[in-house]
Amino acid sequence: MGSLFLRVAVVYVVAGVIFGFAIGITEKLAFANVHAHANLIGWATLALSGLIYTVFPRAGAASLARWHFWLQNVGLPVFLLGLILIDAGIPMPGIPIISVGSILVIAAMLVFLVNVFQNVRPENAFSAQR
């Protein structure tokens, strides 16, 4: 699962950078928090998760990793859509949409927490010497 997380993270960083330049060029700075959330939750969080799942293959192979992946990658686009609508001055349906996305992303983070506590231990780490 680690490489899948990393591949999707790279998509988020490219999209986030392009979106960031677009809002800067057009001076639509009200959308800066969308750019920040896409990069933090999309790029940084997915990349770090992917690295953890690569270094600790037992965690990456757990069904919890698949749940984490899908909850985060369904929830984050929904969250970002809601945030865009709210920032555009369209609170309805922005608020219900962002709420659903938030719940899914929070669920993903809780699943990640459980997976790390269950499966990330020094003896489970990848070792090039094995």
pLDDT in tens, 61-82: 999 999 999 999 999 999 999 9
Q: What gap in Å lies between CA 18 and CA 13, rounded to an integer?
A: 8
Contact 19, 67 (CB under 8 A): no
Residue 129 predicted with pLDDT over 60: no
Structure tokens given for 83: 């945030």
Contact 35, 19 (CB under 8 A): yes
Of 23 and 125, which is predicted with more confidence? 23
Domains of the chain: which residue ranges?
Answer: 2-124
DSSP 44-103: IHHHHHHHHHHHSHHHHHSHHHHHHHHHHHHHHHHHHHHHHHHHTT-HHHHHHHHHHHHH
Q: What gap in Å lies between CA 56 and CA 37, rounded to an integer?
A: 26
Q: What gap in Å lies between CA 35 and CA 17, rounded to an integer?
A: 8
- Of all residues in the chain, the percent with pLDDT exceeding 70 is 98
Residue 128 predicted with pLDDT over 80: no
> What confidence tens digit (pLDDT) does each residue in 27-61 have?
999 999 999 999 999 999 999 999 999 999 999 99
Give the model's pLDDT for residue 122: 86
